[in-house]
Amino acid sequence: MRELEQRILTDGRVLPGEVLKVDGFLNHQVDPDLMFTIGSEFARLFREAKVTKILTVESSGIAPAVMAGLQLHVPVVFARKHKSVTLIDDLYTAEVYSYTKKTSNHISISKKFLSADDKVLLIDDFLANGQAVQGLFEICDQAQAEIAGVGIVIEKIFQSGHQLVADRGVRLESLAQITSFDGDRVHFASEATD
Ligand code: G4P
Ligand code: NA
Ligand code: NA
């Protein structure tokens, strides 16, 4: 998505450790107009997929997921993060390890909001090592829900998440695909076809 790539080039900053800081429009301050356009694009891509529900993880996945849900007219459920989970009878849960933060979190979704009748679109802000998406796969498996696809705002295709989704055989749509960082420069997969 050209508009998103342009915004990454103007507002994004590359931090040590191959982290792209985009807190000006996605991870802290949110640009609703850009999010609406992102939601439209996800809706266009998955319009025929018979999605009944969108799943994401709090907090940064919520804005793009809600904008997609608005335009696909389906509910959006965000998995909550907990340090540990004790009362789990009413929850689907998975453990998510963050390589960037070197911490483990449990994510959970109430059994009220996901079932075997659902066909789910997973949306997240970043795909890096894919641990969040893996956790959502596990939760969908527990609910025996079908997975229609994964929609990602910004994918770093040089990290392992891409392969993790491919191995599962699930459709992956990323609106910006970063192939590499070169100092403070960002390179996109789309450059190859420009
Ligand atoms: P993974 O989910 O793909 O495995 O990501 P990883 O463990 O590597 O990273 C943990 C957190 O850092 C995730 O957010 C993920 O979205 C985010 N992240 C990964 N790479 C980048 C990057 O280059 N830039 C930014 N801004 N974030 C990145 P989270 O902990 O779930 O936080 P949040 O959703 O509450 O913001
Ligand atoms: Na996230
Ligand atoms: Na994040």
Beta bridge partners of 159: none
105 is in an annotated binding site: no
Sequence-separated (6 or more) residues with CB below 8 Å from residue 25: 7, 11, 31, 34
Q: Which ligand is nearest to the CA of 131?
A: 1
All structural domains of the chain with their residue ranges: 2-193
| Any atom of ligand 1 within 6 Å of the Cβ of 174 | no
Determine whether the annotation assigns residue 177 to a binding site.
no
- Which tokens go with 159? 């990290």
The first and second tokens of residue 40, run together, are 């439209």
By the 8 A CB rule, do 57 and 134 touch? no
CB neighbour list of residue 96: distance below 8 Å, 6 or more residues apart: 57, 81, 104, 105, 106, 107, 131, 132, 134, 135
Paired residues of 126 in beta bridges: 154
Chain segment 14-59, per-residue pLDDT in tens? 999 999 999 999 999 999 999 999 999 999 999 999 999 999 999 9
What is the arithmetic mean of pLDDT over 63-87?
91
Looking at residue 84, its pLDDT comes to 67
CATH number of 2-193: 3.40.50.2020
pLDDT for residue 96 is more than 80? yes
Residue type, 72: L
Residue 156 assigned as binding residue: yes
How many angstroms is it from 50 CA to the middle of ligand 2? Answer: 24
Report the SS3 class of residue 17.
coil
Q: Ligand 1 pocket: which of 11, 22, 23, 98 to mutate (most atoms <8 Å of CB)? A: 98
Exposure class string for 144-165: b at 16+ Cβ within 10 A, else e: ebebbbbbbbbbbbebebbebb
Return the ligand 1 atom nearest residue 22 CA.
Answer: 26
Query: Could you tell me the pTM of the whole model?
Result: 0.95
Q: What pLDDT is recorded for position 99?
A: 82
pLDDT in tens, 145-191: 999 999 999 999 999 999 999 999 999 999 999 999 999 999 999 99
Q: Are 29 and 15 in contact (CB under 8 A)?
A: no
Read off the amino acid at residue 65: A
**Nearest ligand (C-alpha, residue 130):** 1
pLDDT tens column, 120-153: 999 999 999 999 999 999 999 999 999 999 999 9
What ipTM score was computed for the predicted complex, to two decimals? 0.90
Q: Is the CB of 60 under 6 A from ligand 1?
A: yes
* 131 annotated as ligand-binding: yes
